[in-house]
């Protein structure tokens, strides 16, 4: 990769990492479910009128919109609102790579290599260390919700592999249209119309800027730049930059929010990032009966791939095919 392209990949990782700090700020202005709904509304409009018609079946758009937009982001924002620290959330969410590999094995018959299985064990050990640290220093409920959010992200990654969207930007925009109404309904039901109206009436420049950042900078710019890089370089060269996301997330949370990083949390970070690297960058074994040869189907079992929202790219062993995304955090 050219130095400029390396810098762009690192910038996207930084944007996605800092996004967790921005979410934390946004939760001071909006209830979590309303905040998530506004994020997807801003990401979908007016872009939905500019990207053309959907290029995959609606069943996949709806399924991923519910799994990723409603479940993953709803749980992530709620978990952070209940006290899960921004830096820790950026780290723990990476366990989605393990969930994706497990779900891909169960649903698609993709057998992970031994190195990937070792990576899963190391990553789960990191989650255990993080759980011990959080159990002694913070609320456990929010931490658990972030882990469940990572599992929902894994479901959406497998669904995205099945959908195989040919145009990542078109896919991302149309998926963003799905969660808006369900999240608004859940917000009215669980957070109450009074709280929602109070947040909207109190909307200021900071609140508006937060929504624009999570919708346009994180999703549209981050996703667009990541897709641009994947069209020019092998996915295996681009996806490892996603491992920088928790680094930027934890460091920016410490810098801007004053979050402390305990020695146990550093141990958890090393285990989780190392485990995700082993899981994500290991070659997968094709499912029994898969066609031999070097065609497109085989390309999906090597290298790594992206996941643009609220988050992060999805490396190979655990994610959509190269160049096929899911939304980031």
CA nearest neighbour of 72 among 43, 100, 44, 102: 100
CA 315 to chain centroid, in Å, comes to: 12
The DSSP result for 195-208, as a single string, is: HHHHHHHT--HHHH
pLDDT in tens, 77-102: 999 999 999 988 988 888 888 888 88
- The CA distance from 324 to 175, in Å, is 13
Residue 284 has phi, psi (to 5 degrees) of -95, 150
In the structure encoding, which two tokens stand for residue 118, read together?
Answer: 């070792």
CA nearest neighbour of 125 among 16, 249, 278: 278
- The CA distance from 114 to 110, in Å, is 13
pLDDT in tens, 179-234: 999 999 999 999 999 999 999 999 999 999 999 999 999 988 887 787 788 778 87
pLDDT in tens, 184-198: 999 999 999 999 999
Q: Give whole-number Cα distances, 217 to 11, 191, 224, 311, in Å.
A: 11, 27, 10, 11
Mean pLDDT calculated for residue range 247-262 = 87
Is there a contact between 311 and 328 (Cβ–Cβ < 8 Å)?
yes
In the structure encoding, which two tokens stand for residue 165, read together?
Answer: 């969207």
Q: Which residues contact 23 (CB under 8 A, 6 or more apart)?
A: 35, 76, 77, 80, 86, 210, 214, 310, 329
The region that residue 306 occupies, defined by phi over 0 for left and psi between -120 and 50 for alpha, beta otherwise, is beta
Buried-exposed string 167-192: b where 16+ CB fall within 10 A, e elsewhere: bbbbbbbbbbbbbbebbbebbbeebe
DSSP state of 95: G
CA nearest neighbour of 243 among 215, 271, 213, 217: 271
Whole-structure pTM value: 0.82
pLDDT confidence tier of residue 70, bands split at 50, 70 and 90: very high
DSSP state of 292: P
Tell me: cis bond preceding 46? Omega within 30 of 0 counts: yes
pLDDT confidence tier of residue 138, bands split at 50, 70 and 90: low
Query: Does 280 have pLDDT greater than 80?
Result: no
Longest dimension (CA), the chain: 60
pLDDT in tens, 281-309: 666 555 554 443 433 333 333 334 444 44
55: burial class by Cβ within 10 Å (0-12, 13-18, 19+)? middle
Strands (E), the chain: 111-112, 284-285
209: burial class by Cβ within 10 Å (0-12, 13-18, 19+)? middle
């Amino acid at each position: 990769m050219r130095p400029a392209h390396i810098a762009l990949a690192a910038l996207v990782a930084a944007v996605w990492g800092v996004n967790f700090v921005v979410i934390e700020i946004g939760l001071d202005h909006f209830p979590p479910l309303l905040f998530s709904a506004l994020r997807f509304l801003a990401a979908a409009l007016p872009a939905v009128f500019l990207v053309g018609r959907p290029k995959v079946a609606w069943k996949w758009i709806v399924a991923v919109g519910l799994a990723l937009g409603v479940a993953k982001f709803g749980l992530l924002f709620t978990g952070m609102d209940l006290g899960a620290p921004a830096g820790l959330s950026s780290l723990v969410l990476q366990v989605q790579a393990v969930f994706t590999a497990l779900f891909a094995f169960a649903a698609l018959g993709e057998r992970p290599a031994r190195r990937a299985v070792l990576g899963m064990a190391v990553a789960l050990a990191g989650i255990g260390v993080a759980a011990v640290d959080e159990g002694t220093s913070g609320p456990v409920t929010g931490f658990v919700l972030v882990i469940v959010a990572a599992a929902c992200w894994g479901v959406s990654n497998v669904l995205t592999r099945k959908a195989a969207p040919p145009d990542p930007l078109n896919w991302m925009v149309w998926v963003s249209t799905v969660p808006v109404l369900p999240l608004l309904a859940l917000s009215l039901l669980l957070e109450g119309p009074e709280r929602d109206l109070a947040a909207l009436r109190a909307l200021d420049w900071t609140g508006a800027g937060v929504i624009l950042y999570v919708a346009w900078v994180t999703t549209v710019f981050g996703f667009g730049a990541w897709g641009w890089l994947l069209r020019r370089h092998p996915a295996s060269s681009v996806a490892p930059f996603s491992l920088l996301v928790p680094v930027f997330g934890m460091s920016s949370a410490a810098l801007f929010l004053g979050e402390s990083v305990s020695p146990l949390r550093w141990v958890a970070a090393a285990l989780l990032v190392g485990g995700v690297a082993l899981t994500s960058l290991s070659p997968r074994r094709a499912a029994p009966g898969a066609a031999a040869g070097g065609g497109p189907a085989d390309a999906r079992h090597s290298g790594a791939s992206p996941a643009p929202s609220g988050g992060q790219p999805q490396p190979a062993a655990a994610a959509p095919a190269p160049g096929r995304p899911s939304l980031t955090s």
